Amino acid sequence: MNFLTSAHTDVGIRKKVNQDSFCLKVASTKIGRVAFAVLCDGMGGLRMGELASSFLVNAFSEWFDTVLPDEIRQGIQPQRIQEQWKNLILRQNVLVKEYGAQQGVSLGTTLTAILIYGTQFIVAHVGDSRLYLINSALKQLTKDHSEVAHKVELGELAPEEAKTYKRRNVLLQCVGASAVVVPQIFVGRAVPNDVFVLCSDGFRHEVSEEEIFGVLAPNLLGNEMVMKKSLVGLVELNKSRGETDNITVIAVKCTE
């Protein structure tokens, strides 16, 4: 499998600090090319959200650089990587919480990460950043760990009501600010022309899934220059409609 990749982040129209952090890597290995992307949306005052998100992104990036090569040499076992990612998240939850206690502040971060190799992918997720899969249609692969998503799931809110729900930014769990974190970790199969899109919540409040699909459908992404222009266009569209949060989006297209 080969990949086209691109990413774009923007502080937005109101905030002074971008608390989103991300990592995007593609490597050639003895099992072929592998793609790896991590996106974290931090929260906390006095620049603390920026630290929380960067802590977690750096931890996953270090895993990719130091642990994954050994996994490839031994023969990748998805269950083992899932366990490593779970332990990494739980460890970072403790470390971020301890750092916040030392500083006398509360801080935390969402997490969405994906590793694509061969015809398989592995995902880890906490919070309300999202991973979409786009092929013939757009599908949300991750579950929002938020109050508004929980109420929609219980039938207490209609999807349309959720868009204007006053507490839509309240998370049920995030890394660093939750006593207990239960990450969503799963595997799946990837095929050529699949497009994986990771985004912070600022990317999706002011644009519809139909609009995202209309710009990031696989047949429209012929090269990385086009992909970058498409991501920037969607971010600017969010801003033009009044999105006040930081906005980050990553796209990975699988190719032959």
pLDDT at 107: 93
pTM, two decimals, is 0.96
Q: Are strands 111-117 and 32-43 parallel, antiparallel or unpaired?
A: antiparallel
What are the CA-CA distances from residue 119 to residues 116, 189, 191, 193, 235 (Å)? 7, 5, 6, 12, 30
pLDDT at 105: 87
Predicted confidence pLDDT, tens digits, the chain (256 residues): 999 999 999 999 999 999 999 999 999 999 999 999 999 999 976 568 999 999 999 999 999 999 999 999 999 999 999 999 999 999 999 999 999 999 888 899 999 999 999 999 999 999 999 999 999 999 999 999 988 877 777 777 877 767 777 676 788 899 998 889 999 999 999 999 999 999 999 999 999 999 999 999 999 999 999 999 999 999 999 999 999 999 999 999 999 8
Give the helix/strand (H/E) hosting 196.
strand 195-199
Kindly report the number of other CB atoms within 10 A of residue 169's CB atom: 14
- Return the CATH number at 19: 3.60.40.10
pLDDT at 1: 93
pLDDT at 41: 97
Number of domains in the chain: 1
pLDDT at 120: 97
Kindly report the number of other CB atoms within 10 A of residue 230's CB atom: 21
pLDDT at 47: 65
CA distance 196 to 198: 7
pLDDT at 194: 98
DSSP state of 112: E
pLDDT at 149: 78
Kindly report the number of other CB atoms within 10 A of residue 55's CB atom: 20
pLDDT at 169: 75
- Containing domain of residue 78, as a range? 2-255
pLDDT at 106: 86
pLDDT at 167: 77
Within 2-159, strands assigned E span 2-10, 20-29, 32-43, 108-109, 111-117, 120-126, 130-134, 138-140
